[in-house]
Structure 1
């Protein structure tokens, strides 16, 4: 069934919009000084102060309207699990429906006009550790389901707002959330400035190494926590999840997934991945680089199961596949359904494959990406990656003020690298400037949007209380 179309603006791009994805302006490549000058000129056309203004939603459109839209096409039996996870707090609600903020941002009267590849769901819990192909632990954005070409500051706005909402969620003072925004933005601009001194190749090769973040951590208490995270990351691989997710067939030696409903189960005949699996993985193999195809051929599939993941992804078709080589060494892949963005009708170029959109955004913005990152089709579009390949995220409940600030600094640094790699650091710095204006603008915006999110969450919880939205039990958490 075709998804209901929401009322959207006629367009995002205007005559004042500039495409930073190609580094070409008016037919020529920009020098560093020209890029900086262009950013300053754009600042005069679209003053930064205008970015603090929230949009007005179209008449008769509420958070519940967007929630219903985002639920279309999801597996019916999983919708109560999604609702349960979103109901935990205003922050899990914020995480669970990124399409709501994208919708609001599209209706904002003003944006910078500086368009490039962005994450699209850039909240603080979407940052974390992940493995490079060289098996080093890097730090950066690790979820790109909503990636798109849009105004660069949309990422900054979502990240800034997440610090205000998360601070309240873990009982930190509002001033802590606001200071975290300032810390994040200062770190973001400082690292952007460093990138303006680098060549395109140097920016491309640059990485945010988790061990470097540890070395720069002055707080002893925080250093111990980060050391613990680094140690645990090294152990998060296919072998580490085998005892929990699988059991071994004593005759063949192959392992198989153990059902753990409602979060993990083998598909019934009418469910995704119950058939055409061979074709799916052949298409996936074709999406890989040639050397990875040869590597992939050293494994054979032994099992596939459906698995509930995350908050916002619950209800979409997600699965895991177990592969083993001749000596029964494991490779576990995760397949996630890739749905069109809520803003896809506004895209200048039509997306041919949503899974390809996701991995292209990830490869462009991450310092290094999973070697098994690929895409395929099984009625729906999917993107594929390794499950838990040294992937870690922080525990917000474990944070005090100092930890919160240190984490904000790390997020700012990582986002700056992602934006510099995907866009143009010179233009961004020219637009942002080095003063306090952009800090005050985003603090004001984040405070306002956090209040809007709280009202949206309360409306959502009222619908739950009125039995208009069904939620699962605590076993779904």
Structure 2
């Protein structure tokens, strides 16, 4: 399989026209709101928005399968067929499972805005949802940061826009629905940027998108009732709801332990991560937490650890769950996810020492509020980030969406992405660059349609490899 160094990458992402939006300064001077807006407009002249619609040409000899092979490096061999199975379901699951492919393609695009900041990196519509704030409020926003990096801000918007086209087809909605969803998402994104531009950096930092408020603003009564029902069901998925599914209680000690359910949940063998050195792992993890969370964490003890298959793109990486209990057997379940290097790591301006720390820092910068147990650690030279399992984390089922539900969801995603970008970047500069005309909408609709067609061809190539027996897939029990 190809090493990262063998995959041809551009010499660099940054150039003389690139601007770092993270610090709210330019040429050593803090930007006022008016200066930021002017800078964005000036950047628009240097890099016309119309040029953002152009897809890249892949280097000769590089295909989607090349990147798929790269992304499989270091994954557990026995889980690779499960990943392939989940990716094979549809062009949309393939798209979800291949974030590295789009990052690679975006890196090769001849033009980017030059406006760099911390982005999600895998900003498709299924990576938005509900999550709990430390105050136990239900928020809405981006909830996956495995691919977070400093890159052009529009990369997130492009991946999100394309996902609406692909997902609309996947759930049998008309192509025009996907395109209209992009327009709604972008108008929502711009409106939220305008609102953020009125605020101070501190006010933006404190601002949050309340999932209940979003629901209350839904105008159609039937849709609101449907969303409310789904929200209530999902909100009940806490640590207590998963205990009966994942664990059973020892009658003698009263302690719970995970129940093996191969091929998706099992206790590690001696040659697998977390079979030993667990105490050292959690000591390092504890040190990554804020002091008050360290004190809270000390009130629990680890009683069991198991490996667990999660997601689509993450399948094959080392993911595990750890069960902690206090003296009264009250549970805490943490999820440990391996943080792998980005395909674009060789292009990073600042080199990464710990991939788990990269994910944690990116999430804290982008997300309105992060899990109180979000941290990082290492075991067997593999990097992990850690968070609570199922802490009011809510995903929205696309399959039950009609046109109007799809549009409502697009509006919420645009709102959430703008807030994330305003927090991690500079809303004034972004608004100055995007502008108020329909140009950016036309550009991204064109891009999304063309990339959706590329994704379909890549998916078909992937399925041909499966049909020829060159890629092995698991059975339906892996879904």
Aligned residue number for residue 75 of structure 1 = 76
Distance 1:386 1:3 in 2: 33
Residues 250-269 of structure 1, C-alpha deviation per residue, up to 9 Å, x if partnerless?
11100000000000000000
Aligned residue number for residue 370 of structure 2 = 369
Match for residue 451 of structure 1 among 430, 450, 453:
453
The RMSD of aligned alpha carbons is 0.9
Aligned residue number for residue 44 of structure 2 = 43
Q: CA deviation at 1:231?
A: 1.4
Q: CA deviation at 1:229?
A: 3.0
Distance 2:318 2:262 in 1: 15
Q: CA deviation at 1:234?
A: 3.0
Aligned residue number for residue 460 of structure 1 = 462
Aligned residue number for residue 86 of structure 2 = 85
Q: TM-score by structure 2 length?
A: 0.99
Aligned residue number for residue 395 of structure 1 = 397
Aligned residue number for residue 261 of structure 1 = 262
Aligned residue number for residue 162 of structure 2 = 161
Q: CA deviation at 1:4?
A: 3.9
Match for residue 422 of structure 1 among 412, 420, 424:
424
Distance 2:278 2:233 in 1: 33
CA contact (8 A) 1:259 1:265 kept: yes
Distance 1:445 1:99 in 2: 18
Q: CA deviation at 1:235?
A: 1.4
Equivalent position SS for 1:441: helix
Distance 2:193 2:56 in 1: 28
CA contact (8 A) 1:129 1:233 kept: no
Aligned residue number for residue 205 of structure 1 = 206
Distance 1:155 1:222 in 2: 28
CA contact (8 A) 1:210 1:230 kept: no
Aligned residue number for residue 149 of structure 2 = 148
Aligned residue number for residue 473 of structure 2 = 471
Distance 2:238 2:401 in 1: 26
Residues 49-100 of structure 1, C-alpha deviation per residue, up to 9 Å, x if partnerless?
0000000000000000000000010000000000000000000000001000
CA contact (8 A) 2:235 2:393 kept: no
Equivalent position SS for 1:150: strand
Distance 1:417 1:303 in 2: 38
Residues 212-256 of structure 1, C-alpha deviation per residue, up to 9 Å, x if partnerless?
101100112221122123312431211110000000001110000
Equivalent position SS for 2:396: coil
- Give unmatched runs, 5+ long, in structure 2: none
CA contact (8 A) 1:141 1:415 kept: yes
Equivalent position SS for 2:337: strand
Equivalent position SS for 1:160: helix
Distance 1:17 1:24 in 2: 13
Distance 2:239 2:398 in 1: 25
2:318 equivalent to 1:310:
no
Distance 1:3 1:10 in 2: 17
Residues 9-54 of structure 1, C-alpha deviation per residue, up to 9 Å, x if partnerless?
0000000000001111011000000000000000000000000000
Q: TM-score by structure 1 length?
A: 0.99
Residues 95-135 of structure 1, C-alpha deviation per residue, up to 9 Å, x if partnerless?
00100000000000000000000000000000000000000
Q: CA deviation at 1:467?
A: 0.3
Aligned residue number for residue 252 of structure 2 = 251
Equivalent position SS for 2:392: coil
Runs of 4+, deviation exceeding 6 Å: none
Aligned residue number for residue 175 of structure 1 = 176
CA contact (8 A) 2:4 2:343 kept: no
Distance 1:344 1:147 in 2: 11
- Give unmatched runs, 5+ long, in structure 1: none
Match for residue 432 of structure 1 among 428, 431, 434:
434
Aligned residue number for residue 29 of structure 2 = 28
Distance 2:34 2:151 in 1: 24
Distance 1:233 1:80 in 2: 29
CA contact (8 A) 1:229 1:392 kept: no
Aligned in 2, Cα 1:233/1:134: closer, same or farther, shift over 3 Å? Answer: farther
The total of aligned residue pairs comes to 477
Aligned residue number for residue 101 of structure 2 = 100
Equivalent position SS for 1:157: helix
Equivalent position SS for 2:58: coil
Aligned residue number for residue 238 of structure 2 = 237
Alignment of 1:338-353 (within 5 A): 338-353=339-354
My pick for the range that moved more, 407-416 or 228-237, is 228-237
Distance 1:314 1:326 in 2: 34
Distance 1:39 1:377 in 2: 40
Distance 2:342 2:12 in 1: 15
Aligned residue number for residue 383 of structure 2 = 381
Distance 2:326 2:412 in 1: 38
Q: CA deviation at 1:2?
A: 9.5
Residues 188-225 of structure 1, C-alpha deviation per residue, up to 9 Å, x if partnerless?
00000000000111100000000110110011222112
Q: CA deviation at 1:183?
A: 0.2
Residues 354-398 of structure 1, C-alpha deviation per residue, up to 9 Å, x if partnerless?
000001110111110000000000020000000000001110101
